[in-house]
Structure 1
Amino acid sequence: MITERTGLIIWVTDLKAAKNLERFGSVHYMSKKMHYVVLYIHASRYDETVRQLQKLAYVRKVERSYRGEIKTEYESHGPDKSKFYTL
């Protein structure tokens, strides 16, 4: 059974303290240059987790990731031109 997950982008002030975010979900990426963390959590606990994250002293802003809503299946409306480029 696959659980529904939601991605969060968490802007932080201190990356050392941001390592504690693993207790809320699975940390996917930590950017040292831009000071943000990509965290995946259970979708059912989204509201309470965001409230808890915003209370932390080292968290500047919490945003929802729209990666799951981006269309990844593409359609080609034109003719296939690959046959013109063969030898």
Structure 2
Amino acid sequence: MHVNRVGIAVWLRSTKQVRHLRKYGVVYYVSKSMKYAILYCNRSDVHHLVQELESLSYVDKAEQSKKPEIRTEFSKPSKPKENSYDYNVGI
């Protein structure tokens, strides 16, 4: 069974309370110098978790990842651009 997961960036006041974030989801990465953590949770619970995380005293801000909204399928142009350079202009 495949469950859709979404990342949440959590900016912290101090990294001492990172262990408490484990009850909200999977802690994937913690930056001690920049004081943030990346947390993964189910897509259906994201909006509720972001509000709940922002209400915590040791959290400055929590933001949902924008990756699911970004289009990752690209197409090639049908016809390549023709370069019309005139190299004999300066002669």
Q: Classify the TM-score, shorter chain.
A: 0.7 to 0.9
CA distance in 1, matches of 2:28, 2:61: 17
Task: Kindly tell me the number of residue pairs found equivalent between the two proteins.
Answer: 79
Identity %: 37
Q: Which segments of structure 1 move beyond 6 Å, counting only runs of 4 or more? A: none
The residue correspondences of 1:9-48 to structure 2 (distance < 5 A) are: 9-48=9-48
Show the counterpart of 1:66: 66
CA distance in 2, matches of 1:30, 1:7: 13
How high is the TM-score relative to the length of structure 1?
0.76
CA distance in 2, matches of 1:33, 1:11: 11
Q: CA RMSD in A?
A: 1.7
Measure how far apart 1:58 and its partner are. 0.4
Question: Structure 2: 5+ residue runs without aligned partners?
Answer: 81-91
How high is the TM-score relative to the length of structure 2?
0.73
Asked which structure has the greater CA Rg, the reply is 2
